[in-house]
Structures are given as structure tokens and as C-alpha cells.
Amino acid sequence: MLTGIVLRSSGGVYEVETAEGVHEALLRGRLKLESRVGDRVVVGDRVEIEAATPGPAWTIEHVDERHSALVRRAPGKAPKAKVIVANLHRVVVVFASADPEPHLRMLDRFLVLAESSDLDAVVVANKIDLLGQAAARARFHVYEEIGYRVVFTSAKTGLGVGELREILCEGISTLTGPSGVGKSSLLNAVQPGLGLRVSAVSERVRKGRHTTVTAELIHLECGGYVADTPGLREIGLWGVDLDELGLYFPEFEPYLGHCRYRNSCTHSHEPGCSVRAAAERGEIAESRFDSYLRLVHGDDLDGA
């Protein structure tokens, strides 16, 4: 029996990194029947594998309980969870400063997803060679103001890549964000020689598909693990309750509990709402409050 971590999977075959190298393993029949949230075994899962006799194959005999997971709502009508990565420490949300234009409302949703999963979140503003430092900083300033670490990078010029590398060298991170923002390009810059596939934004519109198609976990030379994931066109939240949503906007924190309807205020229409008053005074950024309201009013929340 060997213990290891799942690096990637395709067609029911899992690549498991163990102290004795990487083995390909199949899921044991019994495990296939067990119900787990989302997929049975995903990238980042800690597993025990055993050599099947006879033959060179290995089987996954046991999957450890996950200490964390990045979970989104699976596309489709029926409410279903999809686990993107298990056992991670942080989410690195990558947006481009330009090409594609950053949709900050979507960034807010990624951040809510990270907060609700109790994961550290770092924002990366890539392609600053296209927009310039000053303009990119102005654009993402609100996130720095509310306490997120924002790293300005260019996979093309190498700017900020060292700073990103330092973050990724510790623990398990996941790069996530829309398609074409340069997630794979950044990882290729962080560790030259990785050779992850990248392709031009205009190309992919023509082909109508993403360049990275499945999540895979990369063990960096500096020690950390990082998952490259396919870009998401939309991000459906999973496991986020309406009455908890305010907790996932860190800048609301000083005002929560000061609303007239203290515990039941949804900060949308109630009189005497301390959060809305703060937004009206400009202490909470308009764009962020707007993102919040859209989540409250929308049908974006699962089970709502």
C-alpha cells in the first residue's frame, strides 16, 4: 500500500504521485459506489493505492477525507456540485487587465466562492503589458483596498512572475479564472520547461473551446503544488446561503450586526441597513455592493 496525491485523471485512470514515483491507478469497484460530494476522486485527493495482482496496474483503495475543496455548481439545470480541486490552501483568481476585458463582477463571484470555502484568495491581474501598470492598478485597486493581495503580472515580459512563484511555492494552490487570461502561460513562466498548452484568445473564439481542458496538479520544483484549470465562462456558486452571503464580502464586516433587522437583514431593501448606508457613503465600493445585490436577487445561488 502506498499513499499519494492525485495529479490528474482521464478516462477513469488516475495519476497518483507517491514517494516512489507517479503511478497510474484505477478506482476500485467498491469506491465507485460510494457517494461523495461532486466527483468521487479529483485532483488533490489523498489516496491509498495498492498494486493489483497479477499485472502492473494499481488500484485506489481508499480516499482520505478532504480538508478543503473548491466546489462550484455543475453546469445544467439540476442542482449538483462539481469539485474542481481537493485539499487546496488557496485560490489564485487570474484575470487579464485586457484581452479579454476583466469582468469584475465575475471576479467578485470567484472571491465569494473562495471565501465561502474558507480558502485564502489572491488576485492576479495578468497581461499588464497590454494596459500598463498605472491603469491596471487603478482597475484592481478596490481589491487591494479591501485587503486582498493583488499581484500584477505579465507572462509575456515576466513582470510579477517571481512574486507569483513565491506564493505558489507553499502549499496547494489553484489557478482559476476565465478562459484566455493566461493561467497556463503564467505557470509556464513560473516554471520554464513545463510546456503547458496555451493559445491565442482569437483562436479559441474561432474554435469555440478552451485550451486547458481538465484540471491537473503540478508539483513545482520549489515544492508547492499548483492546479491549472480550464477557464470558466461562468461560475455557479455552490453551498452559499443567502443569509451568509454578506460574510463573504470582507469589507462588509464592520457593518454587519448594526442593521436594524440585525440577523435577518439581507442588505437589499430593509430600512436602517448599515451596509447599504456604508455603500451610499462610499465606504463600500459601488461595484462590490452591486455584485452583492445581484447575487442576492439573482437565481445564482444553489438551492435558493
Give the residue among 156, 211, 220, 213 at the shortest CA–CA distance from 189. 156
Which of the choices Zn ion, Mg ion, ligand GTP, none does residue 189 contact, using the CB cut-off of 5 to 8 A by kind?
A: none
Question: Looking at 153, 212, 274, 291, which residue binds Mg ion (CB under 5 A)?
Answer: 212
Of 19-27, 45-53, 208-216, 255-263, the window that binds ligand GTP (rule: CB under 6 A) is 208-216
Site for Mg ion in 148-187 (CB under 5 A): 183-184
**Site size toward ligand GTP, by CB under 6 A:** 23
Minimum gap (Å) between residue 177 Cβ and ligand GTP: 6
Which residue, 180 or 224, has its beta carbon nearer to ligand GTP? Answer: 180
Which residue from 38, 44, 160, 182 is in contact with ligand GTP, where contact means CB under 6 A? 182
Nearest to ligand GTP of 117, 229 (CB atom): 229
Quote the least distance from Cβ 250 to Zn ion, whole Å.
Answer: 16
Task: Decide whether 8 or 183 has the Cβ nearer to Mg ion.
Answer: 183
Of 53 and 263, the one with the shorter C-beta distance to Zn ion is 263
Which x/- pattern, by CB under 6 A, does the window 72-111 give for ligand GTP?
A: ----------------------------------------
User: CB of 179 within 8 A of CB of 204?
Assistant: yes
Does 183 participate in binding ligand GTP (rule CB under 6 A)?
yes
Binding mask 111-140 for ligand GTP (x = CB under 6 A): ---------------xx-xx----------
Q: Which of 198, 220, 247, 285 binds ligand GTP (CB under 6 A)?
A: 198
CA neighbor of 220 nearest in space, from 175, 155, 179: 175
- Angstrom distances, CA of residue 81 to CA of 75, 155, 235, 248: 9, 32, 12, 19
The three cell numbers locating residue 86? 481537493
Binding site for Zn ion (CB under 5 A): 259, 265, 267, 273, 275
User: Of ligand GTP, Mg ion, Zn ion, none, which one sits near residue 180, judging by CB under 5 to 8 A according to partner kind?
Assistant: ligand GTP
Positions touching ligand GTP (CB under 6 A) are 126-127, 129-130, 154-156, 179-185, 198-201, 210-212, 230-231
Positions touching Mg ion (CB under 5 A) are 183-184, 211-212
